[in-house]
Amino acid sequence: MNTPGQHFLLSSAARTLSLARVLRLSDDEAWETFKSIRWASTQGEPVCPRCGCLTIYSLNDNRRFKCAGCGHKFSVTSGTIFASRKLPIRDYLAAIAIFMNGAKGHSALQLSRDLDCQYKSAFVMAHKIREAIASEQTAVGEVAGSVEIDGAHFGGYLKPANRREDRKDRRRRIYQTGKREVVVVMRERDGRTLPFVAKSEGAAVDRIEASVALGSTIYADEASAWDRLEARYLTKRINHSEAYSTPEACTNMAESFFSRLRRSEIGIHHHIAGPYLNAYAAEMSWREDRRRVSNGQQFLAATAAALTHPVSRQWKGYWQRAAA
């Protein structure tokens, strides 16, 4: 039970799953857990991932199955982000539990120490989990109702020189690294959070118009990039140089998303810009939408997403391409 004013993470509901409980699973119990989560609609009975046939034979070689319809041989992780796995199944369950219990994220370097595996393996595994849970966020489609919109810049940091006379004006284009991008968030009040990455707030307007349902009310700050939205939506603006919140308008829920993403960048992931910025933003939106959900339910949702999300070609041979 939550006491008045108590933070959710201090409540008993936030401790429904512990890492110790996962690590106490035997190999057979971990395998059965994977089965029950992947094929939940059939109460854990295998379904052919190729043709969908329900008549399946069990093979004796390494817990595999064979489809009676098409003859396809598969395992509990075939066609998922854990396909061609090298670690024991229990370690993957532990990785998801560790990942979910990190309220503001979990670094791949820390994960590699927790699981006693190479950093490369932990890095790819963490991004596969992010990709799986991000697929749930992108499947939302449109947001509607009262929608708060805001943008924040990430990446492209230029460290100031020690001596004043050696410092550069970081506002000038000549000193820009090209890595600075904007994360734009569309957040329903008491609803879904949809982030995406753009080069500027002005370049994000087309995506916003395609993602916010007509008839919605948009709350935004005084940035001129949002002026175009007033022709399409009822738009309520707030000037942050005068106030952060008024009875008419505020963007506090959008700002809370960026606050969490900033804390993740500073304390865990350090530099989250570049090609991975969208993945980190999607991860934080997934966590924000489930910030009042028990960690046990988060674990089940993340595992189900990982076992139903098809394996991405992006991570096949990733380190070989990176080294080339």
Q: What is the pLDDT of residue 268?
A: 79
Which parts of the chain register pLDDT below 70? 1-5, 62, 139-140, 271, 311-313, 316-324
The helix or strand, by DSSP H or E, that contains position 298, with its residue range, turns out to be helix 295-308
> Can you give the residue range of the structural domain that contains 234?
141-292
From edge to edge, which strands make up the β-sheet containing 56-58? 56-58, 65-67, 73-74
Comparing CA positions, the residue from 270, 303, 302, 272 lying closest to residue 286 is 302
Q: Is residue 100 part of a domain?
A: no
Task: Examine residue 207 and state whether it is found in any structural domain, yes or no.
Answer: yes
- The pLDDT tens digits for 288-309 are 888 888 888 999 999 998 888 8
Structure tokens at 61: 């070689």
In-domain check, residue 318: no
Calpha distance 98→106 (Å, rounded): 8
Instruction: Using CB atoms within 10 Å of the CB of residue 297, give its burial: 0 to 12 exposed, 13 to 18 middle, 19+ buried.
Output: middle
Does residue 1 sit within a domain? Answer: no
Distance from the Cα of residue 5 to its chain's centroid: 28
**Contact between residue 131 and residue 120 where contact means Cβ atoms under 8 Å apart:** no
CA distance 308 to 310: 6
Model pLDDT, residue 4? 62
Distance (Å, whole) CA 42 – CA 206? 42
In a domain, 163, yes or no: yes
**303 in a domain, yes or no?**
no
Specify the number of domains making up the chain.
Answer: 1
Structure confidence at residue 145 (pLDDT): 95
pLDDT recorded at residue 167: 87
In a domain, 39, yes or no: no
Dihedral angle computed from the Cα positions of residues 199, 124, 261 and 114, in that order, rounded to the nearest 10 degrees: -160
Question: Does residue 84 lie in a domain region?
Answer: no
Mean pLDDT (the chain) is: 87
